Structure 1
Amino acid sequence: MGSSNSDSPPLPHQSDADRLRPTDLSRYLDTLVFAVRGIWTVTLTSVRPFAFWAAVILPLVYLPSLYGVGTGQDTALFLDLVAWHMASIVLGHGHTPFWSR
């Protein structure tokens, strides 16, 4: 009793391309995007009030640094203050203080 190839069903051949189908990849990417958005939201929610108030208070620090502009160290300090102020404006933009809700 010999068996032929037509008696048994063909074995499935799994190539590297079949292991990770586009639907699997999109599912993993969706999960990754969801996780990154969640982390970004939590981080921004905790940083936003501090950035808002830093944007309010940092211009007061400009005056003493402007008084001594002309030396190399004071100019670098002033440029650092401007950079921190711009970053705090961008990060604190969406904050609403509790008294204006």
Structure 2
Amino acid sequence: MGSSSGDNPQIPHRGDADRLRPTNTGRYLDILAFAGRGLWTLTLAGIRPFAFWGAVLLPLVYLPSLYGVGTGQDTALFVELAVWHVASIVLGHGHTPFWSR
């Protein structure tokens, strides 16, 4: 009833060569990319309705800046509104309002 050395497999010995082997960074990069895509999806889902409605309503703010209402920096204000409008269009592009579903 004794056990022989053939019954128990040998535990591999970890040598110096195993410690120097590089890790599989591709696996970690895949996990990081997957987490980043998930975070971007959640963030975009929260921002998209506001960006959509911003793209719809921001042109109404152009009118006072075009007619010179406000401070003396109307050109800078107009350019800033145009940049915000383009960003709203890009981010709100995929939004579907609830009455269109």
**Deviation of 1:25 (Å):** 1.1
The match for 1:33 is 33
Please list every run of at least 4 consecutive aligned residues from structure 1 whose deviation after the TM superposition is greater than 3 angstroms: none
CA RMSD, Structure 1 to Structure 2 (Å) = 2.1
**Structure 1 or 2: more helix by fraction:** 1
Give me the whole-angstrom Cα distance separating, in 2, the residues matched to 1:48 and 1:17: 47
User: TM-score, structure 2 length as denominator?
Assistant: 0.78
The match for 2:15 is 12
Count of paired positions: 88
- Which structure 2 residue ranges, 5 or more long, are not aligned? 1-12
* C-alpha spacing 1:19/1:60, structure 2 compared with 1 (3 Å): same
Give me the whole-angstrom Cα distance separating, in 1, the residues matched to 2:93 and 2:14: 60
Q: Deviations over 1:20-61 (max 9, x none)?
A: 1xxx21110110001000100000000000000000000001
* C-alpha spacing 1:64/1:12, structure 2 compared with 1 (3 Å): same
The match for 1:46 is 46
SS of structure 1 residue aligned to 2:15 = coil
- Which structure 1 residue ranges, 5 or more long, are not aligned? 1-9
* C-alpha spacing 1:80/1:11, structure 2 compared with 1 (3 Å): closer
